[in-house]
Amino acid sequence: MPPAASRLSSLWEACVRRRRDFFFGCVALLALASVVRNELMKKGVVARPTTQQLHPQAQRQFGRENRRREKIE
């Protein structure tokens, strides 16, 4: 009788044999999680993420107009 394979190696062999199933299972789990998160945001249970500006607004204005205004004040 051959020696019994260790539990870890048999688990690894099962993962290797079914790696496509595991991959698509993870993809389905991520899709389900994103749908659940969107539904919770619609109901107001989870807060929506804050929007970030691609080009943030400058706090100060630079240029000729601003220099004139500073001299007057």
Would you say the pTM of this structure is higher than 0.85?
A: no
Contact between residue 22 and residue 15 where contact means Cβ atoms under 8 Å apart:
yes
User: Would you give the distance in Å from CA 56 to the centre of its chain?
Assistant: 22
Contact between residue 22 and residue 31 where contact means Cβ atoms under 8 Å apart:
no
How many domains does the chain contain in total?
Answer: 1
> What is the residue type of 18?
R
| Per-residue pLDDT band at 3 (split at 50, 70, 90) | low
Full residue range of the structural domain in which residue 6 is found: 1-47
- Does a structural domain hold residue 53? no
- Does a structural domain hold residue 56? no
Q: Across 2-6, 7-11, 30-34, 50-54, which has the greatest mean pLDDT?
A: 30-34
Longest distance between any two alpha carbons in the chain, whole Å: 99
Over residues 14-26, the pLDDT tens digits come to: 888 898 999 999 9
- Does a structural domain hold residue 58? no
Query: How buried is residue 21: exposed, middle or buried, by Cβ count under 10 Å (0-12/13-18/19+)?
Result: exposed
- Does a structural domain hold residue 69? no
The helix/strand/coil state of 67 is helix
